[in-house]
Structure 1
Amino acid sequence: MTSQLQPDSDLARLLADCTERALESGALQPIRTEQTMVEEAGIRFSVRWVSSLAHKDAARVAAVSKRDPGFNPFLPPEPELTAAALGEHHLAVLNKYPVIANHLLIITRAFEAQTAPLTAGDFAALARVQGPLGGLGFYNGGTEAGASQAHKHLQWVPSPAGLEAFAPHLPQCRPGESGMVSVFDWAHCFVRLPASAWQAEDAGRTLRHCYVQACGLMGLSSAVDAIAPYNLLLTHEWLLLIPRSAEKWRDISVNALGYSGSLFVRRQEQIDELRAVGPFTVLRGVGLPR
């Protein structure tokens, strides 16, 4: 039975207990990776690839990448991976094949398209996780933005390696105001969040207001059934929206985590290619001109 998350519950403990049980049952199958750092413009990007000592994990990567329109793993989600109810319309579900530890999916109970605009309810569900735990929330809006499933799901991870390196380049705008990240030469919108953004009662409305603001500045309508592809990242302090033009640069897939300084490649030899051109070339290539 899914635990109903209460405002005063120990969410970290709840997720840890679910993770332990899912590992024991085999429902949770982490993808073991090796990691290196690639630096550009003073920013150190974390680059992961499947460990050469874990060949079976390549099959897991293939399972994540395969897009079968007839298969929906969220209707219903695996009980062993379902950690908590996040209100009436959302569930917290462990990522079955995580590359980053403690990777959580925030899914709608009923089917909604991944290309549909995010609602105040979606943001309220995210806030029930990210409000107490911090970390990074993100969203891959459509296939071209790196989404591997068509069912609407936000995602949350503890802050990935590399994110702090962007701090000196963030605009010093006031809460509620927008700006641009100085080293990003592709289209994007940065919004500084108000201090009250993650307060439980108003989090959904406040965060959606900032999201709609960013969408409007990027020419994306949040009043349509399907939004053009984009990535969204949120910390406690800011929101970042990046319109997308393609899922891949050559054969390197990019999702929202790429814009937080965390990239994933399938083969070790792709790292040499990434070093040769620089991560910014990859991110620029799947975005839109600034």
Structure 2
Amino acid sequence: MESTFMRAVRDRTDAAIASGDLQPIQADQVVLQDRGLSFIVRWVAALAAKDAARNPVGVATTLPGGPRDPSFNPFLNPDPALLVGPVGDHHVAILNKFPVCLHHLVLARRVFAEQCSPLEQVDFQALSAVLSVEGGLGFYNGGAAAGASQRHKHVQWIPASDQNASLRALGAGMPADLPQGAIARHPALPLAHCFARVAAGLGEDVQASARSMLTAFNQACIALGLRPDADGLLPPCNLLAGDGWMLVLPRSQEHFQGVSLNALSFGGTIYVRDPAQIDAIRAAGPLQALASVGVPA
């Protein structure tokens, strides 16, 4: 039976597509194999439109972690056509204007905070509120080098689908008896990262799940040396959570040969702006492309 939340997401999506505020998703894809792992490389036309919106003609500079126009903040007063509604006391759910899949959501703070500031209990509560009812994957792009395009603090969510990123494939390669809260490395990932077993997914208690994810995130940050600077900002990093797992990894840069790689790339789905970029991923191999934007192990 469909949840009240998912019904609201579907209704808002249908209305936004009908009004033209959200474009139907057009995508082509190929599947690449690398060290026993499958990667979907998808060309999503909407992402080229996102680049155009971030890079208006005649504007010469980009702010770290945010759009070129520092006064532009689509999350502080969300477009009513894209607004789904509140998620807890501190976040609102908004349809991503440039979605990579159907029902791609932004869970944005109601009050501005820097995207690179450490994730807190309330952020994981918002993620858990959705994951516990809908499953799917929660993720975080912490800073421009990690794929973030906005400075206003937010996490994101995509529904479970065979075509969408997830931690299922990587999780299958982790020790089955890894206790909750413990951290470990995946043997196939050639870059610094931490995997942790967490209470994140369908049927989990929201508060307990949020505490589990916050604890794992903090432990991963310590293990990876992700410490806030004098302004309280973390180095760029990505986080993915779902299906009982969390993956945290530091980032060194956003692009591999012009391809922007964000958290979803590490969940097995790489999104490109141009069909020709698929060839760059194929030539290098997905794991080498991911290693090039991470930090050496």
State the TM-score, normalized to the length of structure 1.
0.89
Gaps of 5+ in 2: 57-66
Residue in 1 that maps onto 2:170: 166
Deviations 1:212-253 (A, max 9, x none): 111111111269610000000001301110100001112111
1:23 and 2:17 are equivalent in the alignment: yes
AA of the residue aligned to 2:149: S
CA distance in 2, matches of 1:19, 1:115: 29
1:189 and 2:194 are equivalent in the alignment: yes
The share of aligned pairs that are identical, in percent, is 42
Please point out which of 210, 220, 238 is paired with 1:214: 220
**SS across alignment from 1:209:** helix
Quote the offset at 1:129 in angstroms: 0.9
Residue in 2 that maps onto 1:289: 296
Q: Report 1:62-101 matches (<5 A).
A: 62-63=52-53, 67-68=67-68, 69-101=70-102
CA distance in 2, matches of 1:188, 1:231: 10
Deviations 1:2-32 (A, max 9, x none): xxxxxx9621112111111211222222441
1:256 and 2:263 are equivalent in the alignment: yes
AA of the residue aligned to 1:71: F
Residue in 1 that maps onto 2:182: 177
**Contact (CA 8 Å) 2:145, 2:254: kept in 1 or not?**
yes
**Contact (CA 8 Å) 1:171, 1:180: kept in 2 or not?**
no
1:274 and 2:264 are equivalent in the alignment: no
Please point out which of 245, 252, 258 is paired with 1:245: 252
CA distance in 1, matches of 2:295, 2:101: 27
**Contact (CA 8 Å) 1:140, 1:146: kept in 2 or not?**
yes
CA distance in 2, matches of 1:195, 1:103: 18
AA of the residue aligned to 2:173: H
AA of the residue aligned to 1:219: G
Distance 1:229 1:239, change over 3 A: same
Instruction: Identify which range, 217-226 or 69-78, moves more after superposition.
Output: 217-226
**SS across alignment from 2:100:** coil
Please point out which of 231, 234, 243 is paired with 2:241: 234
**Contact (CA 8 Å) 2:168, 2:243: kept in 1 or not?**
no
CA distance in 1, matches of 2:190, 2:10: 39
Residue in 1 that maps onto 2:49: 59
CA distance in 1, matches of 2:93, 2:6: 12
How many residues align? The count is 279
Residue in 2 that maps onto 1:5: none
Quote the offset at 1:200 in angstroms: 2.2
AA of the residue aligned to 1:210: A
Distance 1:15 1:276, change over 3 A: same
Residue in 2 that maps onto 1:4: none
Gaps of 5+ in 1: 1-7
**SS across alignment from 2:187:** coil
Distance 1:237 1:243, change over 3 A: same
State the TM-score, normalized to the length of structure 2.
0.87
CA distance in 2, matches of 1:57, 1:116: 26
